Amino acid sequence: MENKIINLAVIGLGRIGKIHANNINNNIPGVNLFAVADIYEDALKDIEADSLELVTTDYHEVLKSPDIDGVLICTSTETHAEIIIEASEKGKHIFCEKPIALQMEKIDKALSAVEENNVIIEIGFNRRYDPNFNKAQKLIEKGEIGKPVQIVIISRDPAPPDEQYIAGCGGMYLDMTIHDFDMARFLLGEEIVEIMATGNCLIDNNFAKHGDIDVSTVSFTSESGCVGTIINSRKSSYGYDNRAEVLGAEGSIEVENRKDTEVKIKKENGIVNDKLMHFFTERYAQAYIEEIKDFAKCIREKTTPLASGHDGKMAFKLGQAAKKSLEVQGKVKV
């Protein structure tokens, strides 16, 4: 199966689904965009690919096709678990955007179906596939900075999402911070055992209307005693701010923000850099390509993805713990 063309289908053609469809179509050798599905016909018209064999408003048609090796689930969160189970039963390998579901029972049921049907599942924690975070993880694992003792992760979006998105996303910790929980686990190579979360709604009242917050700080402790801080905001007027620093006993590793260029102008009246990249779609353009390359490689070689179903479950578990900590205004054991 080493040289076999992998036929993939994208289910759900919102912003992220279109990114994946276009990457499969243009940027990933050995992978074929065989089918797309979306409940809205207008979304289907936006995808142009000579290889498309099936274009449908009913994703069940995709799952029935014997020619499709794997599906990318890019639909709304509340549909993920159901589609995972159906795809598993049809023998399709699965790439699913985070979170797997908004209830642990549904996550467990979905992952059980994956295991029972012996299919691969990869979760869309794209930052693991970013060349910068990926290199940092390898250096930490190699012992380049000694034992990690402190980690700080900052994630700030350039602007809040619309109210419809806010209503269904699961809240700050299951929608936004979930990426940072996963990154902490990824960089440290161990589990987080205690969480303390604080937050408030200070930017956009739409979050408060849905019982959510838009600024947050989460403090945590890992298995080895490493202490960490995750800083989140739903609005950053200067662009997409996503960086991390890990301090070790023998040094530190930093992953910085990315700008459109690294050109810097120095003059008498000040220093000027390019602005930060606008949002995650620009910042992680290469990571989106790499994660689908990994998905195809795992299908060919029957290996476990870098971002597994277990990783999806554990990040969700941490999000739940952070929500509980905010509610009780105290530390929560994970």
Query: What would the pLDDT profile of 121-130 be if each residue is shown by its tens digit?
Result: 999 999 999 9
CB–CB of 265/272 below 8 Å? yes
CB–CB of 125/100 below 8 Å? no
What angle do helix axes 80-89 and 104-116 make, rounded to 10 degrees?
10
Confidence of residue 166 (pLDDT cuts 50, 70, 90): very high
Per-residue model confidence (pLDDT) at position 264: 82
Q: Determine which helix (DSSP H) or strand (DSSP E) holds 9, and give its type and residue range.
A: strand 6-11
pTM for this structure?
A: 0.92
Per-residue model confidence (pLDDT) at position 84: 98
Per-residue pLDDT at 8 exceeds 90: yes
Q: Report how far residue 217's alpha carbon sits from residue 169's, in angstroms, rounded to the nearest whole number.
A: 19
Neighbouring residues of 260: CB distance < 8 A, sequence distance ≥ 6: 274, 275, 277
Decide the pairing of beta strands 264-267 and 6-11. unpaired
Tokens representing residue 127 in the block? 């930052």
Per-residue model confidence (pLDDT) at position 274: 78
* Residue pointed to by tokens 């700030």: 156
Per-residue model confidence (pLDDT) at position 332: 95
Per-residue model confidence (pLDDT) at position 68: 96
Tokens representing residue 314 in the block? 């554990």
Per-residue pLDDT at 106 exceeds 80: yes
- Its sign, for the CA torsion 136, 138, 141, 143, is negative
Per-residue model confidence (pLDDT) at position 270: 87
What is the set of domains in the chain, with CATH numbers? 6-119 (3.40.50.720), 128-286+314-333 (3.30.360.10)
Q: What are phi and psi of 217, to 5 degrees?
A: -130, 130
Average pLDDT, the chain: 94
The alpha carbon of 51 is separated from its chain's Cα centroid by a whole number of angstroms, namely: 27
Per-residue model confidence (pLDDT) at position 247: 98
If you write DSSP's letter for every residue of 185-199 in order, what string do you get? HHHHTS-EEEEEEEE
Per-residue model confidence (pLDDT) at position 250: 96
Decide the pairing of beta strands 54-56 and 70-73. unpaired
Query: What would the pLDDT profile of 204-246 be if each residue is shown by its tens digit?
Result: 999 999 999 999 999 999 999 999 999 999 999 988 999 999 9
Confidence of residue 275 (pLDDT cuts 50, 70, 90): confident
Per-residue model confidence (pLDDT) at position 49: 67
DSSP letter at 101 equals -
Tokens representing residue 198 in the block? 């604080």
What angle do helix axes 285-301 and 15-26 make, rounded to 10 degrees?
70
Inter-CA distances, 72 with 30, 40, 292, 307, 320, Å:
16, 17, 9, 14, 25
Query: What would the pLDDT profile of 12-58 be if each residue is shown by its tens digit?
Result: 999 999 999 999 988 899 999 999 999 988 888 878 767 788 999 99
- Its sign, for the CA torsion 134, 135, 139, 145, is negative
